[in-house]
């Protein structure tokens, strides 16, 4: 297993749309293990393959307190959503930046697991928000892009200043 490099906003590769996984192989399962290890080490609660420069529709999530309930979503598709939430979100690709995004409170998602088994999951609250956030990555969208252009510009300036101070 390996810790993967997480792309940092505004890296253009974060805007690349992920392709469906045609076949789940040992390579896919190795990616899942590496993504999980990367997410836990960061630490984070979700990671999309796009964030580690692999443009396939793979997501890992663990919103549990104990960090032992890994959820793997391959080729996820939201088939239903309801309600309204505005959780404060953060992102491993946009470190140190947090803000609210309007999302559905509940989602029903259909996906494959690492054993190539199809399943349907009803998610609420934080898990639902995390699924939507990570699925945005698969579509090439970062959460800060829901904000006004002014706020995005300020966020980018803050990130660039932070990067300069760590060099």
Give the active site residues. 134
Task: Determine the Cα–Cα distance for residues 76 and 22; give it in Å rounded to an integer.
Answer: 13
End-to-end alpha carbon distance in the chain: 28
Ordered DSSP codes for 114-152: TTS-EEEEEEEHHHHHHHHHHHHHHTT--GGGGS-HHHH
Token match 């996820």: residue?
76
Structure tokens at 80: 């239903």
Going by the DSSP 8-state scheme, the letter that residue 79 receives in this structure is E
Q: How far, in whole angstroms, is CA 68 from its chain's centroid?
A: 18
């Amino acid at each position: 297993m390996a810790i993967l490099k997480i792309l940092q906003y505004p890296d253009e590769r974060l805007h690349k749309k992920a392709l469906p996984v045609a076949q789940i192989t040992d390579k896919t399962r190795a990616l899942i293990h590496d993504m999980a290890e990367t997410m836990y080490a960061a630490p984070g609660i979700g990671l999309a393959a796009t964030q580690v420069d692999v443009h396939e529709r793979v997501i890992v999530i663990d919103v549990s307190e104990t960090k032992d309930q890994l959820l793997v979503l391959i080729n996820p598709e939201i088939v239903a959503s309801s309600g309204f939430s505005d959780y404060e979100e953060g992102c491993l690709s946009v470190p140190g930046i947090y803000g609210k995004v309007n999302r559905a409170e509940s989602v029903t998602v259909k996906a494959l697991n690492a054993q190539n088994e199809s399943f349907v999951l009803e998610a609420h609250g934080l898990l639902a928000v995390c699924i939507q956030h990570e699925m945005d990555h698969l579509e090439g969208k970062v959460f800060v892009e829901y904000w006004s252009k002014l706020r995005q510009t300020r966020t980018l300036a803050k990130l660039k200043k932070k990067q300069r101070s760590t060099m």
